[in-house]
Structure 1
Amino acid sequence: MRVGFVGLGNLGKAIVDRMISQGLELYVYNRTIEKAKNYNYYENPNELFKNCDVIFIIIRDSKAVEEFLFNKIEKQNLKDKIIIDMTTNNYQFVIYAYNKIKNLNGYYFEAPLIGSIPAAQSGNLVMLIYGDIDKFKKIEDIIKTFTRKIYYFDELGKPTKIKLLNNFALAGISYSIIETITIAQKLSIEKEIILDILLNGAGRSHFLEIKKDKILNENFQPQFSIELLHKDLNYFFELINQFHIYSHILEPVNKTLKRAINLGYGNLDISAIYLVLKEKIFNDERFIEGMKLFQEGKFFDAHEVLEELWREIPKENKYRNFIKALIQISAGYYKYLVQKNKDGAIKIFNNAKNYLLEYQDEKTIFNIRELIRNIEFLMGLIEKNEDISSFKII
């Protein structure tokens, strides 16, 4: 059987590399062609479907899967194809997709995965799968190239229910552990000590074992991103709502993830919620609102919200001048775009830069050095009398 693969995101690429390392010949398609050029690839997804018998898919969400399978792929190219959809999907969508592809004489497998990039690289992913049992037997050995455990279910939708439950548990565990660490720090207990004690006590967990170094070093390169977990929790909410079930912890956890996304952390690893929880100022609703207004280009409104927050911050708080720098940035935009005062804007942006210089070696929720570079670039645009309204400084 000729095998195709759609989706070269972080996890998809790790799976493809693992499958190839196990001797499989693969043909890939990715929306961004550049990512596919190190592999045997098709530029047109219909060509991949025409030429492959088995197609693995792992893309962003159910909306993307629906658009891909039922808008991009021609109906005749789905006939007799075995489609293994490893995307974490909405519960209702997998039922819809299974029946639609069945009506087109194809074979849809609902096949979400448990595990992240390291598990994919070592062939230790877990797959939860439902689909035609006879076809499953034909593809089982292919799946085993990147999994250590396959759970086959005889009920449509069950793999998705379990996957969403698993990610709900992951979210709750990660939130409670990281909040424990940030509270410990606020009680003057060193991060290294509380981590070590948790790892040797009741707080020991797989999550903590694999995320310890990320939290210690505050290096949050993604294995599983905040944005994707937030998406999965929204799917979980839709699922339990459909069955009239209530969760006591879903709302605060999902709210924290949403805050992290609003602060620009969506693409970071889920352990990066540490950055949101560790500093009280960055949890303040006014700070979150100010950042949201920044991203929407509402600089005067952002200035007002952040100014109110700044007035309440004690003088000894080390982030007081950081907030002041953000206020200065919003004022600089207003001075140039609304008041048309070029020299005044440059002066204000320069003040913001000077405030930020004291934080350039700090690990904060922003890349301070990059923010300083953006301010310098912005001042250069203003010197040339150029429009800065579309330039996103943060």
Structure 2
Amino acid sequence: MRYLPFGSTGAIVSELGFGGIPIIRLTTEDAVRVLKRAYDRGITFFDTANSYEGSEEKFGSALSGVREKIFIATKSKKRDGKGVTEHIELSLKRMKTDYIDLFQFHQVVQEKDWQAIIAPGGALDAALEARQQGKVRFIGITSHGIPTALKAISTGEFVSIQFPFNFIETGAAESLLPLAQKTGLAFIAMKPFAGGAITDASLAFKFLRSHPYVLPIPGCDSVESVDQVSSFYESPNTVSEEDRRAMESIADTLGKEFCRRCEYCQPCPHGVSITLGMTYQLLASRMSPRVACGYVTKALETIPRCVECGACLPKCPYNLPIPDMLKKHYALFREHRKLYHNEQN
């Protein structure tokens, strides 16, 4: 494992990170075992979020004993100052730490969210105050939309950008990644497996390692998966023509029904939460159906409002059959919810 500068912050982190979603579905005991294994394998960058059920607490249980040797990143979806302050305090408590290395604004895509964050007395001001108080070292932002990400970078307020990057979602390579390099921002690659759509880990990391400026944060739910992913970094990276053809084939196949979460389709005139509806199948595979149901119930219950008006279709840059996919994913959600309720009873 190599250790590299985290952008221009002066911090040094492992070239491979750890994403905190999959440990949601593990018991605390199992999650602690996985996290400690990641640390033992040389991983020092750990990323989670306030909204990842139980993840921050598991980070605290596993990593508080090596706190000074690791770099912890978390996130908040709050857009107001009070909410961000509360979330920072909650994250500190959950992770048993006095400071957060990287606090990130979570999933900023739409203009209304961006304006709320940068408004006087808003979320950014609260994060800056927390940084002044020593509760936060650095501030970053995560997004699924290129325009918003570019706008955020141009402000000079952030030390990092976290964005989807894998051999299916390559849009960042054209504009976002070069600009991050030019301005000294760290680039954190979320969704290295395209949210679970890529099942060939070796192929996924052959692509990622061919971009040495990128810090991938795969989520692992077992000691074996930690060992597998970290083992890719034990030898030089090579990408053959056969590998490239395999990547192209997978991307072409998934492209027909793969939502990139860019949110260009929103807002829906009927109030349908399109993005979460479009991504529910992958979300359930990553979080487990039980956790996913609880996580998105409110959003998924808006899907029956869809009248197939077609307003979303021309907005989708990938020409996805949005109403059909929403119907299919809503049916899956109802199956999962029924199973969950049966378990409770």
Shorter-chain TM-score range: 0.3 to 0.5
Which is greater in Rg? Answer: 1
Question: Normalising by the residue count of structure 1, what TM-score does the alignment of the two structures yield?
Answer: 0.31
Larger RCO (alpha carbons 8 Å, 6+ apart):
2
Question: Normalising by the residue count of structure 2, what TM-score does the alignment of the two structures yield?
Answer: 0.35
Tell me which protein shows more strand as a share of its residues. 2
